[in-house]
Amino acid sequence: MILAAFLAVCGAWFGLANPVARLPLFMLLLPAGLAYLACRAETTRQAAKWAYWTGALTAAGNLYWTCLPVHDFGGMPWVLATPVPVLMGLVLGAYAAALALAWRFGAARLPAWLFVPYAAAAWTVMEMLRGTLFTGFPWLTLAGAFSPWPMAIQGAAYLGAYGLSGLLAALAAGPAVYGLFSRPTLAVILIAAGLAFLGNRRLADPVPKIAAAHVTIVQGNVDQSRKWAPEAEEETVDKYIDLSKRALSDAPSDLLVWPETSMPFFYQDGGHLAQRVRDFVASAGVPLVFGAPAYERTLGGHVLYNRAFLLAPDGRAAGYDKEHLVPFGEYVPLGQYLTFIGKLVEGVGDFKPGASAAPLRQGDLALGTLICYEAIFPELAQKRVEAGANVLVNISNDAWFGDTAAPRQHLDLALLRAVEQGRALIRGTNTGISAVIDPRGRVMAQGGLFTALALPCPETPIVSETTWYHRYYGLITWGLPALFALLGLAACLRPVRSRDRRPGGLTL
pLDDT tens digit sequence for 76-103: 888 888 899 999 999 999 999 999 999 9
Angle at which helix 233-250 crosses helix 272-284, to 10 degrees, equals 0
Residue 508 pLDDT exceeds 50? no
Least trusted range by pLDDT, from 204-208, 442-446, 462-466: 204-208
Question: Distance (Å, rounded) from C-alpha 30 to C-alpha 8?
Answer: 4
Instruction: List the beta bridge partners of residue 366.
Output: 361
pLDDT at 72: 76
Please give the DSSP secondary-structure letter assigned to residue 467: -
Q: What percent of the chain has pLDDT over 90?
A: 69
pLDDT (tens digit, 9 = 90+) per residue, 160-206? 999 999 999 998 998 888 887 777 778 778 888 888 888 888 998 98
**What residue segments make up the domains of the chain, in order of their start?**
1-205+470-495, 211-464
Question: Distance (Å, rounded) from C-alpha 330 to C-alpha 102?
Answer: 36
Residue 501 pLDDT exceeds 70? no
pLDDT (tens digit, 9 = 90+) per residue, 318-332? 999 999 888 766 666
Which SS3 state, helix, strand or coil, does residue 497 take?
coil
How many helices and strands, by DSSP H and E, does the chain display?
Answer: 15, 12
Q: Which residues of 149-186 are buried (b: 16+ CB within 10 A; e: fewer)?
A: ebbbbbbbbbbbbbbbbbbbbbbbbbbbbbeeeeebbe
In whole angstroms, how far apart are CA 404 and each of 19, 53, 62, 68, 80? Answer: 7, 24, 10, 9, 20
Ramachandran region, residue 304 (left: φ > 0; alpha: ψ -120 to 50; beta: rest): beta
pLDDT at 37: 95
Angle at which helix 156-178 crosses helix 29-40, to 10 degrees, equals 40
- The per-residue pLDDT of the chain, averaged, comes to 89
Residue 9 pLDDT exceeds 50? yes
Residue 292 pLDDT exceeds 90? yes
pLDDT at 211: 92
Arithmetic mean of pLDDT, 221-243? 88
Predicted confidence band of residue 340 (pLDDT cuts 50, 70, 90): very low
Please state, as a whole number, how many other Cβ atoms lie within 10 Å of the Cβ of residue 284: 18
pLDDT at 346: 52
CB-count burial class (<10 Å; 0-12, 13-18, 19+) for 147:
buried
Instruction: Determine contact, residues 161/377, Cβ cutoff 8 Å.
Output: no
The closest of 425, 363, 65 to 217, measured between CA atoms, is: 425
Question: Distance (Å, rounded) from C-alpha 346 to C-alpha 254?
Answer: 34
pLDDT at 365: 95
pLDDT at 324: 83
Question: Distance (Å, rounded) from C-alpha 304 to C-alpha 326?
Answer: 14
In whole angstroms, how far apart are CA 310 and each of 244, 351, 397? Answer: 16, 20, 18
Longest distance between any two alpha carbons in the chain, whole Å? 79
Question: Distance (Å, rounded) from C-alpha 29 to C-alpha 25?
Answer: 8
Please give the DSSP secondary-structure letter assigned to residue 427: E
Name the residue with higher pLDDT: 96 or 300.
96
**Helix runs in 73-136, H state only:** 78-81, 83-109, 112-130
Q: How many CA atoms lie within 13 A of 492 on its CB side?
A: 6
Question: Distance (Å, rounded) from C-alpha 212 to C-alpha 462?
Answer: 5
Residue 338 pLDDT exceeds 80? no
| Single pTM value for the model | 0.91
Residue 287 pLDDT exceeds 60? yes
Q: Which CATH number fits domain 211-464: 3.60.110.10, 3.50.50.60, 3.40.50.2300, 3.40.718.10?
A: 3.60.110.10
Instruction: List the beta bridge partners of residue 454.
Output: 218
Arithmetic mean of pLDDT, 441-467? 94
CB-count burial class (<10 Å; 0-12, 13-18, 19+) for 331:
middle
Instruction: Determine contact, residues 325/307, Cβ cutoff 8 Å.
Output: no
pLDDT at 236: 93
Residue 485 pLDDT exceeds 90? yes
Predicted confidence band of residue 349 (pLDDT cuts 50, 70, 90): low
Question: Distance (Å, rounded) from C-alpha 427 to C-alpha 432?
Answer: 9
Instruction: Determine contact, residues 262/371, Cβ cutoff 8 Å.
Output: no
Residue 362 pLDDT exceeds 80? yes
Question: Distance (Å, rounded) from C-alpha 21 to C-alpha 463?
Answer: 35
Instruction: Determine contact, residues 478/102, Cβ cutoff 8 Å.
Output: no
Predicted confidence band of residue 499 (pLDDT cuts 50, 70, 90): low
Residue 407 pLDDT exceeds 80? yes
Please give the DSSP secondary-structure letter assigned to residue 346: -
Question: Distance (Å, rounded) from C-alpha 444 to C-alpha 437?
Answer: 5
pLDDT at 347: 53
Cis peptide before 476 (omega within 30 of 0): no
Task: Report the catalytic residues.
Answer: 260, 322, 372
CA 57-132-130 angle, 5° bins: 20
Residue 502 pLDDT exceeds 70? no
pLDDT at 507: 43
Residue 396 pLDDT exceeds 90? yes
